[in-house]
């Protein structure tokens, strides 16, 4: 019946998570008149925007067979660096560029250490998580650095493009960029090859080390941009933001069907994965559900989704 | 699951939602953190006061000490159309954009302790943190005779409320011969216990320790107990049940208590007055209460109602 049954099977997790998202929207809309409103969708868009950007990078890293635990700390480091530069009257585009470079440099270093000495990416980035967090505390001296540049705030988070909040517009831009990189470039195919079987990829003549390093540079750069979005959203650089965000980013990728051994994986799925998590918390808050119960619900949903995905895979 | 079950369960959910929307007014309570005695007691008191008005509903959110979560929490309360919001801020600057959204939507905001630069209906205990820092500092001066080496435990980043406490403490010891020789930070009780144990080794002639909040005081007290150093004075802010117990057994000299029940009651009452069209003051002060071995039983009843 289907010309390519395998292709359809590969797409099942992302279709599943999209359907789950729609069901959630229908249920919450029925339960609360405040849910299905423009301003609430703008809220959900804003509240999932940063996690989504981190999750796109995480998806690429996971497809290459790695994991990047440092992204939450890089969010904070980049936010602090940018807030400090803006405070020192550095022009906005240069401040933003240097902050992104900080993230890229972190990713490059993690990737390099992982391939040069054959260390698991889990361990390297666990160290990077600590280093980046410590750096952002040292640079900020633990303080909240207030951002007064209206240009920066409008560019990153607090403006609108038509009806679309700027924060979410960035998410859409990075979604398209990551999708193009993964699906339309040879680099994207090489990433999947490395994640599928790094030894085979190496025998096929791919420069696997360089591919891994570049994937981590992308992830670091995306996380750093997430940091700029965070700084814009909070009008400040805080050394404490982003704690635990790496886990939400991983959860979003996994909900979208990405596995830990480079299998599955699509950016559409990841996008919906982030939306599902954001929508659940938003909807439960609107319904006035006890916040302790919200945590339980979020955890149960993640486990439930992962079980379904692995059942289908087997 | 068949289509029939799905539709049936949706219908059930819809009728349940229909029931809950009868209540006429909703209050949102945005907590900075909901995982210590202070926070739980505050939420309980607000719940208690609001429960006397069956037509008013209370929605509580927990930012779990992350500014971006509190920002989202307040946004969600605004979009939900609550009629008033009580905020216990985690970071006074980071949540300003959300407070402005509430202002734009004409939702009155009540702040428990100050949120500088925010437009609020009223503030509960604006001077509370500075005053508590000063009072606990003065207690330490009294206990040490105002002479000797001190350790000061802060938090690893800057927070408006904690900064106020530190300012109050430093003002209290300024004119004395007390000298801060060790300054460390941490949030976690176990970590502070290790930190203080290290400070005791480095400075055996220490006469006093001051901490900014509950977990630190308990951690420091347990370090003093392990080192058998009851001669060292220990003060700080908060009067959690674990602190009360250690004041009773003499490992903590005394603390400046926050009164979560009074703060919560004043906040809830301010909103109810506002709903009823009665005037509301711009600031309600909550008196300072020092808990020491002399009044520990009485203060325990006042604060925790037990």
Q: If pLDDT is split at 50, 70 and 90, which confidence band does B1 have?
A: very low
Res. B34: pLDDT tops 90: no
Res. B21: pLDDT tops 60: no
Specify the pLDDT at position B103.
96
Specify the pLDDT at position A142.
81
Res. B6: pLDDT tops 70: no
With a CB cutoff of 8 Å and minimum separation 6, the contacts of B304 are B37, B41, B241, B244
Mean pLDDT of B156-178: 90
Chain B residues whose beta carbon lies within 8 Å of the beta carbon of residue A158: 97
Phi, psi of B234, rounded to the nearest 5 degrees: -135, 120
- H or E element in which residue A17 lies: helix A5-31
Specify the pLDDT at position A1.
43
| DSSP letter assigned to residue A208 | H
Residue of B nearest to A290 (CA): B60
Asked if B158 reaches chain A (Cβ–Cβ under 8 Å), the answer is yes
Asked if B227 reaches chain A (Cβ–Cβ under 8 Å), the answer is no
Q: Which ipTM was obtained for this model? A: 0.73
Nearest-angstrom CA–CA distance, A218 and A213: 9
Backbone Cα Rg of chain B: 22
Asked if A38 reaches chain B (Cβ–Cβ under 8 Å), the answer is no
Contact B66 A30 (CB under 8 A): no
Q: Which of B34, B67, B157 sits opposite A142 (nearest CB)?
A: B157
Residues paired with B233 in a beta bridge: B208
Chain A residues whose beta carbon lies within 8 Å of the beta carbon of residue B156: 137, 142
C-alpha closest to that of B169 among B201, B200, B132: B132
Residue of A nearest to B12 (CA): A31
Nearest-angstrom CA–CA distance, B291 and B303: 10
Question: Average pLDDT per run of 10 along chain A, which is 314 residues long?
Answer: 58 80 93 88 90 97 95 97 96 97 97 95 96 94 86 89 91 97 94 90 91 97 97 89 92 90 86 93 85 87 81 70
Asked if B93 reaches chain A (Cβ–Cβ under 8 Å), the answer is yes
Question: Crossing angle of helices A166-184/A208-234, nearest 10°?
Answer: 170
Q: Among A12-21, B97-106, B209-218, B280-289, which stretch is predicted with the lowest mean pLDDT?
A: A12-21
Contact B68 A30 (CB under 8 A): no
Burial of B13 (0-12, 13-18, 19+ CB in 10 A): middle
User: Please, are residues A222 and A74 in contact by the beta-carbon 8 Å criterion?
Assistant: no
Res. B3: pLDDT tops 70: no
Domains in chain B: ranges and CATH: 24-127+260-287 (3.40.50.2300), 129-257 (3.40.50.2300)
DSSP result, A134-173 = HHHHHHHTT--EE---HHHHIIIII-EETTEEHHHHHHHH
Please, what is the average pLDDT of chain B?
88
Specify the pLDDT at position B267.
96
Domains in chain A: ranges and CATH: 37-313 (1.10.3470)
Res. B8: pLDDT tops 80: no
Contact B93 A146 (CB under 8 A): yes
Res. B9: pLDDT tops 60: no
**Does the global pTM surpass 0.90?**
no
Distance from CA of B303 to the nearest CA of A (A): 24
Contact B79 A37 (CB under 8 A): yes
Nearest-angstrom CA–CA distance, A55 and A17: 15
Distance from CA of A185 to the nearest CA of B (A): 35
Specify the pLDDT at position A295.
85
Contact A142 B14 (CB under 8 A): no
Q: If pLDDT is split at 50, 70 and 90, which confidence band does B127 have?
A: low
Q: Which of the residues B158, B160, B183, B185 would you substitute to probe the A interface, choosing the one with the greatest number of A C-beta atoms within 10 Å?
A: B158
Residue of B nearest to A27 (CA): B10
Q: Which of A26, A238, A290 sits opposite B60 (nearest CB)?
A: A290
Q: What is the largest CA-CA distance in chain A?
A: 64
Chain A residues whose beta carbon lies within 8 Å of the beta carbon of residue B158: 141-144
Q: Which of B66, B71, B158 sits opposite A243 (nearest CB)?
A: B66
Res. B19: pLDDT tops 50: no
Residue of A nearest to B74 (CA): A285
Q: Give residue-wise pLDDT tens across range B202-254.
A: 899 999 999 999 889 999 999 999 899 999 999 999 998 899 999 999 999 99
List of long-range contacts for A1-9, beta carbons under 8 Å, 24+ apart: A9/A312
Chain B residues whose beta carbon lies within 8 Å of the beta carbon of residue A34: 79-81
Mean pLDDT of B2-21: 49
Query: If phi over 0 gives left and psi between -120 and 50 gives alpha, with beta otherwise, what is residue A65?
Result: left
Q: What is the largest CA-CA distance in chain B?
A: 79
Q: Which of the residues B71, B94, B161 would you substitute to probe the A interface, choosing the one with the greatest number of A C-beta atoms within 10 Å?
A: B94
Contact B61 A285 (CB under 8 A): yes
Contact B80 A146 (CB under 8 A): no
3-state secondary structure of B240: coil
User: Please, are residues B32 and B70 in contact by the beta-carbon 8 Å criterion?
Assistant: yes
Contact B157 A143 (CB under 8 A): yes
C-alpha closest to that of A217 among A120, A139, A125, A135: A125
């Amino acid at each position: 019946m289907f010309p390519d049954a395998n292709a359809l099977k590969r797409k099942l997790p992302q279709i599943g998570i999209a359907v789950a998202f729609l069901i959630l929207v229908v249920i919450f809309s029925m339960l609360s008149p405040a849910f299905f409103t423009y301003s609430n969708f703008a809220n959900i868009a804003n509240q999932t925007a940063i996690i989504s950007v981190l999750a796109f990078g995480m998806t690429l890293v996971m497809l290459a067979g790695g994991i990047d635990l440092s992204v939450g700390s890089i969010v904070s480091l980049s936010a602090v660096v940018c807030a400090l530069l803006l405070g020192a009257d550095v022009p906005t585009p240069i401040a933003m560029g240097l902050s992104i470079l900080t993230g890229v440099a972190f990713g490059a270093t993690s990737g390099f250490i992982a391939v040069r000495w054959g260390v698991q990416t889990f361990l390297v980035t666990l160290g990077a998580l600590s280093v980046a967090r410590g750096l952002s505390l040292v640079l900020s001296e633990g303080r909240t650095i207030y951002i007064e540049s209206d240009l920066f705030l409008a560019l990153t988070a607090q403006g609108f493009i038509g009806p679309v909040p700027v924060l979410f517009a960035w998410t859409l831009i990075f979604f398209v960029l990551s999708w193009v990189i993964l699906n339309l470039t040879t680099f994207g195919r090489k990433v999947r090859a490395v994640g599928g079987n790094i030894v085979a990829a190496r025998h096929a003549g791919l420069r696997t080390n360089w591919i891994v390093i570049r994937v981590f540079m992308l992830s670091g750069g995306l996380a750093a941009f997430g940091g700029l979005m965070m700084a814009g959203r909070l009008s400040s650089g805080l050394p404490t933001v982003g704690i635990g965000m790496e886990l939400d980013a991983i959860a979003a990728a996994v909900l979208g069907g990405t596995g830990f051994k480079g299998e599955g994986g699509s950016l559409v799925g990841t996008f919906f994965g982030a939306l599902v998590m954001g929508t659940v918390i938003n909807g439960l808050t609107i319904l006035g559900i006890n916040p302790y119960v919200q945590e339980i619900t979020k955890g149960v949903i993640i486990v439930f989704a992962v079980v379904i995905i692995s059942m289908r895979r087997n | 699951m068949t289509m029939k079950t799905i539709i049936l369960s949706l219908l059930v959910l819809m009728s349940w939602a229909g029931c809950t929307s009868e209540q006429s007014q909703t209050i949102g309570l945005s907590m900075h953190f909901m995982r210590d005695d202070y926070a739980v007691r505050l939420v309980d008191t607000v719940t208690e006061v609001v429960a006397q008005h069956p037509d008013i509903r209370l929605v509580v959110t927990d930012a779990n000490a992350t500014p971006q979560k509190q920002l989202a929490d307040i946004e969600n309360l605004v979009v939900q159309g609550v009629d008033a919001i009580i905020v216990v801020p985690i970071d006074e600057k980071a949540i300003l954009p959300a407070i402005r959204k509430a202002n734009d939507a004409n939702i009155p905001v009540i702040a428990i302790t100050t949120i500088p630069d925010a437009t609020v209906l009223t503030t509960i205990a604006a001077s509370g943190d500075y005053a508590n820092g000063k009072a606990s500092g003065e207690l330490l001066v009294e206990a040490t005779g105002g002479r000797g080496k001190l350790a000061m435990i802060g938090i690893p980043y800057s927070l408006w409320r904690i900064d106020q406490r530190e300012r109050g403490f430093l003002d209290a010891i300024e004119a004395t011969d007390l000298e801060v020789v060790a300054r460390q930070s941490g949030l976690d009780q176990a970590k502070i216990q290790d930190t203080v144990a290290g400070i005791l080794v480095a400075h055996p002639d220490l006469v006093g320790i001051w901490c900014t909040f509950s977990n630190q005081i308990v951690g420091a007290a347990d370090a003093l107990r392990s080192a058998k150093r009851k001669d060292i004075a220990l003060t700080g802010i908060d009067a959690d049940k674990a602190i009360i117990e250690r004041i009773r057994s003499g490992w903590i000299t005394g603390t400046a208590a926050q009164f979560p029940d009074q703060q919560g009651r004043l906040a809830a009452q301010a909103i109810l007055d506002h709903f009823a069209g009665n005037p509301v003051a711009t600031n309600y002060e909550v008196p300072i209460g020092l808990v020491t071995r002399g009044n520990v039983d009485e203060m325990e009843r006042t604060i925790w109602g037990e």
